[in-house]
Amino acid sequence: MEIRMAREEDHDDLAAILQSSIKMYTLKEFGEFFIADLIATQNQTRRQARNYRSDGKAIVGQVGDKAVGLMSISITVYQGQCFDLEVFDNLYKSEYMEAIRNRLDQLALEDQINKQITNYKKHIELTKEAMKCHMIGQRLYLQQYCFDRDQEIKQKIDDYGQEDLAKTLTQQVVTNMINGWLKDYQVFKPSDLFLEYPDSFKDLECITIKPIQVLLEALEFFGLPKGYMNGEGHWKDWAKKKEEEQKALSLKRPKRQQKKTNKKAKKEDKDEDIFKPPPYFDLGPFSQAFTTFTSVSAETRAQARSVSARQESKS
């Protein structure tokens, strides 16, 4: 037997031998000129022309003028990188390949499950982010923020119940005071996370108003008059309350007949001034609405929103 480098024309001799010895496959499954392609792949010139990664050689055993055997020699340990050996079970035993395929199927299933878990977690994260940016979620956070500072805020309001301090209250003083209470409060805006998922939560809200406006709008659900910071709803029923106080005082004092003098006329003018509302800012409506806001449950909040929505739709 002569051993020499294989040539593509050896295909005919080798194909006849392969066809007669291998019954489980036919050459049609691998291509009509499969052996010729295999030999050509080992040819240095063709490897360079077609950029094959194989560094092997193909040799044949020749008896007389016919090739009777083929051997492919390569320095590459993993032949699967150079040839499509899937149809040959990668030259492994069928039991081994079955185990490999089962393992690959298992890994594919695990990968699919992991992707589903990742997508679910991402959806939950996006939902939480969207809820925080929504006005309802913002008010929930605001309520908790105010609840944590409830005593501090109420104490400050009580301090201004003293007449000398109350007279110093102006719109600007109260604005600064509320802003001070809200200095650590954060108005949430959509994060960059939504840039990764532009098709998710297309109705996402972005709140652009200041924290003080968020608080005042929330308190309007709980009785704070609209336009409160501009004086609306201040000193409500002041004259009625003073009239009741005057009646109560007059019942305690004995009645005396007196002549009407200039001094008494001046006193009556002074009494009329009592019924005029004070010129300084009234913290009463804010205090009442704030107390209700920090004490209500989620159910009550929902009911308040529903009532407000119905009133707005009617108007």
Domain boundary among 32, 56, 89: 89
Total structural domains within the chain: 2
The verdict on 128 and 26 lying in the same domain is no
Please give the pLDDT value at position 204: 67
Please give the pLDDT value at position 35: 79
The verdict on 54 and 150 lying in the same domain is no
Structural domain contains residue 19 = yes
The verdict on 163 and 301 lying in the same domain is yes
The verdict on 60 and 161 lying in the same domain is no
The verdict on 27 and 119 lying in the same domain is no
The verdict on 80 and 118 lying in the same domain is no
Edge to edge, the sheet with strand 57-63 lists 2-5, 57-63, 66-73
Average pLDDT, integer, range 89-112? 84
Pick the most confident of 51-55, 125-129, 159-163, 179-183. 179-183
Length of the chain measured in residues: 315
Please give the pLDDT value at position 236: 83
Please give the pLDDT value at position 245: 67
Which is higher by pLDDT, 190 or 11?
Answer: 11
The verdict on 27 and 167 lying in the same domain is no
Structural domain contains residue 95 = no
Domain boundary among 89, 122, 157: 89
The verdict on 8 and 76 lying in the same domain is yes
Please give the pLDDT value at position 70: 85
Structural domain contains residue 102 = no
pLDDT tier at 17, thresholds 50, 70, 90: confident
The verdict on 121 and 79 lying in the same domain is no
The two tokens of residue 173 are 């003083």
3-state secondary structure the chain: CEEEECCHHHHHHHHHHHHHHCCCCCHHHHCCCHHHHHHHHCCHHHHHHHCCCCCCEEEEEEECCEEEEEEEECCCCCHHHCCCCHHHHHHCCHHHHHHHHHHHHHHHHHHHHHHHHHHHHHHHHHHHHHHHHCHHHHHHHHHHHHHHCHHHHHHHHHHCCCHHHHCCCCHHHHHHHHHHHCCCCCCCCCCCHHHHCCCCCCCCCCCCCCHHHHHHHHHHCCCCCCCHHHCCCCCCCHHHHHHHHHHHHHHHCCCCCCCCCHHHHHHHHHHHHHCCCCCCCCCHHHHHHHHHHHHCCHHHHHHHHHHHHHHHHHC
Report the C-alpha gap between 44 and 33 in whole angstroms. 19
Q: Which residues pair with 4 in a beta bridge?
A: 60
pLDDT tier at 205, thresholds 50, 70, 90: low
Domain coverage including residue 9: 2-89
CA angle 116, 119, 121 (to 5 degrees): 110
Q: What is the mean pLDDT of the chain?
A: 77
- Condensed to tens digits (0 to 9), the pLDDT of residues 258-315 reads 555 555 545 554 555 676 788 889 999 999 999 999 988 766 666 666 665 565 556 5
Give the percent of the chain with pLDDT over 90: 23
The verdict on 51 and 142 lying in the same domain is no
The verdict on 119 and 78 lying in the same domain is no
- Condensed to tens digits (0 to 9), the pLDDT of residues 119-139 reads 888 888 777 777 777 777 788
Question: For residues 6 and 67, is the Cβ–Cβ distance under 8 A?
Answer: yes
Whether the full predicted model's pTM is greater than 0.75, yes or no, is no
Residue 180 has pLDDT above 70, yes or no: yes
pLDDT tier at 24, thresholds 50, 70, 90: very low
* Closest to 82 (Cα-Cα) out of 28, 48, 26, 42: 42
Structural domain contains residue 246 = no
Which residue type occupies 199?
D
Structural domain contains residue 152 = yes
CB atoms within 10 A of CB 233: 17
Please give the pLDDT value at position 36: 81
Average pLDDT, integer, range 43-65? 69
Average pLDDT, integer, range 141-157? 91
Structural domain contains residue 266 = no
Residue 216 has pLDDT above 90, yes or no: yes
Structural domain contains residue 248 = no
The verdict on 157 and 196 lying in the same domain is yes
- Condensed to tens digits (0 to 9), the pLDDT of residues 163-177 reads 889 899 999 999 999
Which residue type occupies 253?
R
Structural domain contains residue 105 = no
